[in-house]
Amino acid sequence: MDALHEKKLKKLEEIAAALRHDAVEMVINAGSGHIAGPLGMADIFAALYFHVIAHNHRRPAWPDRDRVILSNGHICPIQYAALAHAGYFPKEEMKTLRQIGTRLEGHPHRGALPGIETTSGPLGSGLSQACGVALAGRLDGLKYRTYCVLSDGEHQEGNLWEAVMFAAKHKLNAVTAIIDRNNIQIDGMTEVVMPLESLRAKYEAFNWHVLEIDGNNIAQFVDAIWEAHAVYEKPTVIIAHTIPGKGVDFMEFDYHWHSKTFSKAEAKKALHELRTLEEKIISEHQ
């Protein structure tokens, strides 16, 4: 991973804006899907696929590639958008999200699409998969890193904490967990449904290296990745505080948009706001 200079940072911000627009357009075309999480995680996915990870869209099975494990599979529109922009499949195919016969299912399916490492859907299982992938790499003498994207709500699942213990026991320093700490889930706010705090204290008690950042600040995220790479004796978790629905004013911080169908008026307004934001970012960087 190269150092993040100002020109590259601006480019990543432009990519994140484009990914937000595409994710919303995909969900609108599908007539269903999860959208608050994808909007909140656009900055992190732009940074992952266009700066952080080692990968090659022409060789999706390259043994030395870094692995991105999406545990909270419902935010897949943002991963699909990132993969399309990175060249893994034609951008035109994004319009087929959730359609019959599509490769872009409502939750990612391993083998259906290049760049998708695991099948996800049942929450709480992604970190276990990531630990297995990381341990396999160690046993095979490979140097790739494994990044596991998690929701905050799935930390209410008991099996996730078994993976947290496993990673610490085996000192899986090649694992970096990234928690989308947006404080919402389908039934309401996480701290009302089933309180999670203090997440930092919990992970520290399980002997993880813990970092907390503004998840919508790309520079902070990249700095956290650099620090994670420098930790050799334990796995790292990045608690990324994000704004659900980021970029669309009527969606931000509203848990109802965890999964909600757009009306025609809402769709028009959301796309207009995101298009305006994208144009603003591009003009500022010229």
Tell me the per-residue pLDDT of 144-186, one tens digit each, with 9 for 90 and over.
999 999 999 999 999 999 999 999 999 999 999 999 999 999 9
Tokens of 208: 């993880």
- pLDDT at 283 > cutoff 90: no
22 and 14 Cβ atoms separated by less than 8 Å: no
Among 2-11, 41-50, 235-244, 266-275, where is mean pLDDT lowest? 2-11
Q: What is the mean pLDDT of the chain?
A: 96
Give domain 6-284's CATH architecture. 3-Layer(aba) Sandwich (3.40)
CA distance 156 to 26: 29
Tell me, what's the pLDDT at 21?
A: 97
> Is residue 2's pLDDT more than 90?
no
**Region of residue 3 (left: phi > 0; alpha: psi -120 to 50; beta: else):** beta
Helix-strand-coil split of the chain, %, nearest 5: 50, 10, 40
Structure token pair of residue 191:
């701290």
Tens of pLDDT, residues 261-272: 999 999 999 999
111: Cβ contacts below 8 Å, ≥ 6 apart: none
Assign 84 to helix, strand or coil. helix
Q: C-alpha distances in angstroms, 151 versus 10, 124, 154, 217, 281?
A: 27, 9, 6, 18, 28
What is the bridge-based pairing of β-strands 175-181 and 236-241?
parallel
Angle at 162 between CA 75 and CA 215, to 5 degrees: 35
Predicted TM-score (pTM) of the model is 0.97
